[in-house]
Amino acid sequence: MSTRFYIFCILFFFLPLTLCAEDPASGRLPDGRAFRTDGEGNQIVDYIAELEMTVTALKRRVQGLEDEVARSQGGAVGGSLEEKDLLSASEDAENEAIEARGTFEAINARESNRGNSACEQKLQIQKSSLAQLSERALSQQSSCNDQIRALKTQMRSLELRQQQVDLIERNATDQQRNFQSLAAELQEARTRGDSLEAQLSQKSLELQTVQSQFGERERKLGEIISTLKREKESLQSSLTQVKVESRPSSSSGSLVRARLNDDALSASRSKAVQSFRMPLLEEIGEVRKAAATRDQAFRTFKRSDIRLSPQKLVSRRGLTLGRLEKLIKSADSVEEIALYRRDLHEIASKVKQDLQTIKRMKQL
């Protein structure tokens, strides 16, 4: 029985030691920590590797004891000693196994405590990190809220500015339309002004022509008056001679001759009055046309800083063109028509002055 037990112990302890000695998958690192290798070839440092290394060391110790017993064994006494040593070795192996189990439990507990402590430390670190992240997130959220409020304020300000810009653009568009309308009106007014200026120039030339004609007619009228005076003197001289020659004649014949002389004088005077009246009537028509042009020019002249009004077409004696026309038509002497001619000349001078004034004002 002792032989079988001996063989069993050898097989039980020696075979695993041989397998462990041949297994290069475990060992210790240079810093003394035990490691093991998993199926994928990764080295793992944990309490299981430490336990395996402890078991391997115990097995090697048992193997050394067995080798020592085998070398010193001999005879029966040697057999008794062998059994005794084997029993002692078995007890030592059991004690070492117990120590190994205690070591395993201690290592397990230590590793468990270490793992729990590491987990708690990690948990604390994570909690601290989470707290910091939470504070940072709250701070960032507050900053983001402030930025959002600032952006909303800026957006409202931009909207108000955009509304103001739109209003300014609409006003600018309206002003542009008004400007274009005023520019068109100004251009039209300038065109009318140029046209009126041309008309004024034309009327001024016509008035100068009329005045020149008036002077020519006045000269002719003077010649006619001189001729009439000479004819009158000649008629008076002839009449005196006829009276002297007809003194012996009867009174009836004298009356006939006197009537004939008066008729001849009246016809000559009427002819002279008519020749003097017609040019004045034509001149009244020309002055009326010039006055109409003057009135039109004053109506179209518009300036806020200057107010102009034409002169009244009345002579110094208070005669208008209409009144002069009637008086000239009813006049029966050249002297009377000559007086009316001065009144007409005064009115024509007023028209000419007004035309020159409005022309100068439009050139400013």
Q: Give the C-alpha separation, 324 to 282, whole Å.
A: 12
User: Residue 166's pLDDT band (boundaries 50, 70, 90)?
Assistant: confident
pLDDT surpasses 70 at 3:
no
Q: Tokens 């039980």: give the residue.
A: 12
Classify residue 259 by burial, with Cβ atoms within 10 Å: 0-12, 13-18, 19+: exposed
Q: Give the C-alpha separation, 327 to 338, whole Å.
A: 11
Q: Give the C-alpha separation, 211 to 294, whole Å.
A: 17
Per-residue model confidence as pLDDT tens digits over 303-336: 656 777 888 899 999 999 999 899 988 888 878 8
The amino acid that residue 281 corresponds to is: L
Arithmetic mean of pLDDT over the chain = 72
User: Residue 28's pLDDT band (boundaries 50, 70, 90)?
Assistant: confident
Per-residue model confidence as pLDDT tens digits over 82-107: 444 444 544 555 555 555 555 555 55
Q: What are phi and psi of 46, to 5 degrees?
A: -155, -175
In the chain, the percentage of residues whose pLDDT exceeds 70 is: 64
User: Residue 250's pLDDT band (boundaries 50, 70, 90)?
Assistant: very low
pLDDT surpasses 50 at 265:
no
pLDDT for res 8:
53
Q: What are phi and psi of 26, to 5 degrees?
A: -140, 165
pLDDT for res 22:
42
- Please state whether beta strands 43-44 and 26-28 pair in parallel, antiparallel, or not at all (unpaired): unpaired
User: Residue 74's pLDDT band (boundaries 50, 70, 90)?
Assistant: low
pLDDT for res 150:
85
pLDDT for res 257:
44
Q: How many CB atoms lie within 10 A of CB 97?
A: 12
Q: What is the rounded radius of gyration, in angstroms, for the C-alpha atoms of the chain?
A: 76
Question: Does the predicted TM-score (pTM) go above 0.75?
Answer: no
pLDDT for res 82:
44
Residue 63 has which token pair? 């193997």
pLDDT surpasses 80 at 273:
no
In the chain, the percentage of residues whose pLDDT exceeds 90 is: 4
The amino acid that residue 295 corresponds to is: D
Q: What are phi and psi of 278, to 5 degrees?
A: -60, -45
Q: Give the C-alpha separation, 270 to 81, whole Å.
A: 202
- Of the ranges 42-51, 195-204, 293-302, 322-331, which one carries the lowest mean pLDDT score? 195-204
312 DSSP assignment: P
pLDDT surpasses 50 at 342:
yes
Residue 202 has which token pair? 């034309």
Per-residue model confidence as pLDDT tens digits over 220-234: 767 777 776 766 666
Q: What are phi and psi of 268, to 5 degrees?
A: -65, -40
pLDDT surpasses 80 at 58:
yes
Per-residue model confidence as pLDDT tens digits over 109-158: 565 566 566 666 766 776 776 677 667 767 777 777 788 888 888 888 88
Would you list the domain boundaries of the chain?
2-136, 196-363
